[in-house]
Structure 1
Amino acid sequence: MPDIPGPASPPGNSRSTSATIPPNILRSLSVVAGEDGVDLRPELARVGLEEAVMRSAALRVSYRQGSTVIRRALELTGDERLGLRVGSAQHLTAWGLLGFALMACDTLEHAIRTGVKYQNLSGAMMAWSAGAEEDGFVLRARLPDPALDPGVGVFLTEEAFSSVVTLTRLIVGPAFAPSRVAFVYHAPRDITPFSDLFACPVGFGAQDNRYVVHPAWARTVMPGRDPVILASVLELLDAQVAARRDQQELLEVLEVSIAQGLPSVPSFAEQARRHAASERTLRRRLADCGTTYEAIVDGVRRERVEQLLRRSEPTLRDVAHQAGFSDERALRRAVRRWHGVAPLELRRRFERSEGPGGVSGR
């Protein structure tokens, strides 16, 4: 069977700003953080995810919303291995129809390939690919945005592999263990949590994030194998993928038009005219995507501000103007809402994280 790559990421900044991800990780994160006495509801509300909204099955979140909440959860819990715990708290029911499809697949390899094919419906915040290699059946995971906060990147990688091993054991039995797991980042001080969870050799400082399944395990017949049910569920999943593609195209078009218009922002009425739709219809379509026009504008402005602050040349006045803010005061309020710090402190963070090859000191 050929290798199965993950779906291609949309161009530009849409992976970061568009609300297209089922919030499974954030829901599990809230539960796990609550076990540590940390209430994430205020942090979720700050990014527009109030408690009532989080209960909606139709809710979709953006990478920006997700990474912001994850970053705060890491700070509030102080748990460097929070990603492992959140992944271990996952259950197939959180994946909806896709979880049902995985249980009905023929073999474990078939289930993994199916999960990769429909990963955008699972709430995954990593980009997955899979294929047979010399040492077994290999899953690879990469971050969607290399500029993500390093701590958030580690969290997402650990959550991803932890959820895979946890869900596999729920399906085929607790005896399952991968042959080897490898991470691109350097080894932490204590690797015991990794050894305990994966029950296999775990490497660090690797070229890519790899999760290797022994061929014998890959050929394991799924206990819930049902070809008829699987075919029916896959039809429904294909319909969901098609609907999501239409939603993504709408969000991308709006984001591009806003980004191209900055520092001026096209009015909502103007956007409706461009789409040959009434304002009410366009608002309903955006609601179906789990977002609003105001949230999209906010995301595009944030992306522009972060791009400008990564450079040393623009003054804060320049940044405010180019991102469409009325003045520096409005810029400061927005950056503090997004990152919890002032613009100049955010610029210094970018300098530290990017090193000599990034923005220069100022």
Structure 2
Amino acid sequence: MLAAHGLPEDLSDEEMLLPARQIGRLLEASAKSLRCPDFGLRLAQLQDIRILGPIAIAIENARTVKEALDVVSKYMFVHHDGMSISTVPHRDGPGRIELCYGFRAGPQAAARQAIDLVLGGGHRILGLLGGENYLLHEVHLPYAPIAPPASYQRSFGVPVLFRQNKAALVVSGALLNAPLPHANESLRGMATDYLQKHFGAGRDGLIARVRLAIVSGLENSDASLAKVASLLALQPRTLQRRLADAGESFEAMRDDAMREAAWTYLRSSDMALSDIAARLGLSQQSALARSCKRWFGDTPLAVRRGALQAESPALSGSRARG
């Protein structure tokens, strides 16, 4: 099955980097083969922070949860080349925040098992880091349940809202300033120096950081050049120059991210077309229609209709093998 999804059969090298898109497809195929719709949720229960490698050392030795999340936001591309994490206020006020997970899922990627896995793993790791300061209120997923809703309730222990406009964990606002009990400045410095040396510079590091900053911006309806540059602590002109030196352009990268986000929203959510247009930074719904014609050769409704026609039968008949 590994070879069928473009992955090496020997995975013994712990430093091997695997493409997120192929991993997403492998998870979907595994869930289908095992007749286990909650495969991603189950797998999350078997993972701990050590799966993040050198990122884990920097996280565990951060002074606060916020500092740990900053490390994750900056270097997560080392572990997952298509994901970003950002923190935004919750609509209910300062008592809650949303930890939003952005995914760079291509048009052919079926990433719902991967998203279940990532949010389940994030919930588990935050519980270990935050201890009694970690209070999960809700989970948001941008698609219909792919497993019986009871499976999600067992995994998270809180209400899980489906068909939302983002993937997010809604947690207590006090979590960010919670101190971590085993912070070690020396170990943290060694880990971040290693990450910076190996992944913080050069073309690939820059492209990955810009791509994920764009995804984060789209999650919050602002992926402008100025916004993305500010997320990267750069001046807009400096960012454009560095991308040009790397053979890329900001406009092309943003267009790619918008195309992939549009596909995800249309295929995996029931968001209104006007809301999708606004989230992508498009001025009108008609602009979304023109963009979809350019990206997919079809209308937004036709793209969405294709997802509905591909929906599997009722989940009630699905079960995991013993």
- Common fold: TM-score over 0.5: yes
Q: What's the CA shift string for 1:46-92, capped at 9, x where partnerless?
A: 3453433x111332222443233223212211111111112222221
* Pair 357,93 (structure 1): closer, same or farther in 2 beyond 3 Å: closer
Q: Which moved more, 1:170-179 or 1:103-112?
A: 170-179
Match of 1:214 among 156, 172, 182: 172
Contact 2:17-2:79 within 8 A present in 1 as well: no
Partner of 2:129: 171
User: How high is the TM-score relative to the length of structure 2?
Assistant: 0.57
Indicate yes or no: 2:152 matched with 1:203: no
Supply the AA of the counterpart residue of 2:112. V
SS at match of 1:222: coil
Q: How many residues align?
A: 211
Highest CA radius of gyration, 1 or 2? 1
Q: What's the CA shift string for 1:120-177, capped at 9, x where partnerless?
A: 122364332224453523211233125244xx32112111110101112233338844
Partner of 2:286: none
Contact 1:126-1:142 within 8 A present in 2 as well: yes
User: How high is the TM-score relative to the length of structure 1?
Assistant: 0.51
Contact 1:113-1:130 within 8 A present in 2 as well: no
Partner of 1:241: 199
Partner of 1:77: 34
**How much is the aligned-residue C-alpha RMSD, in angstroms?**
3.0
Partner of 1:327: none
Match of 1:114 among 71, 95, 104: 71
Deviation at 1:244, TM superposition (A): 6.8
Match of 1:144 among 89, 101, 104: 104
Contact 1:87-1:162 within 8 A present in 2 as well: yes
Partner of 2:182: 224
Indicate yes or no: 2:54 matched with 1:97: yes
SS at match of 2:168: strand
Partner of 1:38: none
Instruction: Provide the identity percentage.
Output: 18
Q: Return the alpha-carbon distance in structure 2 between the equivalents of residues 209 and 234 of structure 1.
A: 27
Stretches of structure 2 lacking an aligned partner (at least 5 in a row): 208-301, 308-322
SS at match of 2:139: strand
Q: Return the alpha-carbon distance in structure 2 between the equivalents of residues 184 and 207 of structure 1.
A: 5
Stretches of structure 1 lacking an aligned partner (at least 5 in a row): 1-42, 250-352
SS at match of 1:110: helix
Contact 1:116-1:130 within 8 A present in 2 as well: no
Q: Which moved more, 1:83-92 or 1:135-144?
A: 135-144
Greater length-normalized contact order (CA 8 Å, ≥ 6 residues apart) = 2
Q: What's the CA shift string for 1:16-68, capped at 9, x where partnerless?
A: xxxxxxxxxxxxxxxxxxxxxxxxxxx1133453433x111332222443233
